[in-house]
């Protein structure tokens, strides 16, 4: 389940992640525990653009504002040759445009914890998410994200968020 505060935070300003892109580049050049840790540190600080399709629930079309009670959201996915499904996320608008040129694309701004919760709440047929599928193509699988979602849930339960 996606928190309401995340659902309602639509893109108003450009999202960019230069430190994350640098960390990913360095990790790809020299993949070792240190560069992977730096990349994950930057992932935890970053905001991502997550494309979605939104429509009003039947009977709520005349409401002036969208919220979690009147909006149906479907998050975009890609499928691999092995028929594995992945949600998609982008580091910035330019990366999203490389994936799909579209004048008006509904997107949500999410942190890594939000994406992890989205995946943990999805059916078992969703394998994880892919970051910048047209270029970076960095895959994060469900198993590696489960710990992030669990930690976030514990922090919320303890009232530390």
Domain extent for 8: 4-157
> At residue 89, does pLDDT exceed 60?
yes
| Contact between 102 and 76 (Cβ < 8 Å) | no
pLDDT band for 13, please (50, 70, 90 cuts): low
Domain count, the chain: 1
Q: Where are the alpha helices (DSSP H) in the chain?
A: 4-7, 18-29, 33-45, 93-99, 112-121, 142-157
pLDDT band for 63, please (50, 70, 90 cuts): confident
Please state whether the predicted TM-score (pTM) of the whole model is above 0.85: no
pLDDT digits (tens, 9 = 90+) for 116-160: 989 988 988 999 999 999 999 999 999 888 776 555 444 444 444
């Amino acid at each position: 389940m996606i928190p309401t505060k995340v659902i309602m935070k639509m893109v108003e300003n450009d999202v960019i992640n230069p430190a994350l892109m640098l960390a990913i580049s360095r990790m790809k050049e020299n993949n070792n525990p240190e560069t992977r840790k730096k990349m994950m540190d930057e992932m935890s600080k970053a905001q991502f653009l997550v494309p979605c399709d939104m429509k009003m629930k039947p009977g709520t079309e005349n409401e002036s504002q969208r919220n979690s009670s009147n909006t149906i959201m479907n998050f975009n996915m890609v499928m691999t040759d092995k028929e594995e499904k992945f949600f998609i996320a982008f580091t910035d608008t330019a990366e999203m445009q490389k994936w799909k040129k579209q004048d008006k694309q509904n997107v949500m701004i999410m942190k890594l914890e939000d994406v992890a919760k989205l995946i943990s709440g999805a059916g078992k047929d969703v394998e994880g998410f892919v970051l910048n599928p047209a270029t970076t193509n960095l895959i994060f699988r469900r198993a590696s994200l489960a710990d992030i979602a669990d930690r976030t849930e514990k922090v919320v339960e303890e009232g530390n968020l």
